[in-house]
Amino acid sequence: MIRVTLARPWLEARLAAPMRVLSWAPHGAGFRVTDRVLWREVRNADLGPGTDALAWLAARLPARDVVAMMTSCDVGTWQEARACIQGVPAQAVVTLGLTNAESVGRRRDWQAVEFGTINILVATGAALSRPAQIEALSIAVEARTAALMEADIPLPTGRATGTGTDCVALACPPGGRLRHAGLHTATGEAVGAVVRTAVARATAAWIAARG
């Protein structure tokens, strides 16, 4: 469903066919039909004070009809997970850094932290309607949070539930009419399972890399 290629500073996720992608990504946000989702690895020197990050990213994209995310973590540490629930396939690809982790509803002084981020692409073969795709995206976010809470990462404000710059993209076949993708559905279970597993793997790797 997703083929991943690493060509630093880019990580490319190529979908098997054009899919409708829903995200709040820095490039290609909202609903967009594409077969490519990109991660761009950045460093502090890339984005100095006063830099327009969105314009900087747009100027470096290899194509315009893509969804693109940015991260300061090593894109070579990406993790993935796959599942098929009652004939509904799903796959997630995750990069993760937690240097600017937050506990929801209790933000820290962002000027005092470095910027990591959690970037997630999850694709499902379920032919979802737009409202159902929004519901599935919410489950992906819930799964990310569940995986982080299970990791029990302490912050001055509580346990980490995400970072201040997370991005999630959910892809499905365009033109679908399935009306529901909640936790009681096979789609919801598949999406939740792969995101939860991939985020858990990425979190464990991030913790291990720091001793």
**pLDDT tens digits, residue range 66-109?**
999 999 999 999 999 999 999 999 999 999 999 999 999 999 88
- DSSP type of residue 185: S
Whole-angstrom distance, CA of residue 174 vs CA of residue 164 = 30
Dihedral class, residue 139 (left if φ above 0, else alpha if ψ from -120 to 50, else beta): alpha
Which pLDDT score, from 0 to 100, does residue 104 have? 98
**pLDDT tens digits, residue range 156-190?**
999 999 999 999 999 999 999 999 999 999 999 99
Where in the sequence is the domain holding 42, given as residue range(s)? Answer: 2-209
Which pLDDT score, from 0 to 100, does residue 194 have? 99
The secondary structure element, H or E, covering residue 121 is: strand 118-124
Give me the sign of the Cα torsion angle 135, 96, 205, 92: positive
The CATH code of the domain that includes 173 is 3.60.70
**pLDDT tens digits, residue range 115-145?**
789 999 999 999 999 999 999 999 999 999 9
On average, the pLDDT of the chain sits at 96
At residue 24, does pLDDT exceed 70? yes
- DSSP type of residue 42: -
pLDDT band at residue 51 using 50, 70 and 90 as cut-offs = confident
Task: Please count the structural domains in the chain.
Answer: 1
Assess contact for 100 and 93: CB atoms under 8 A: no
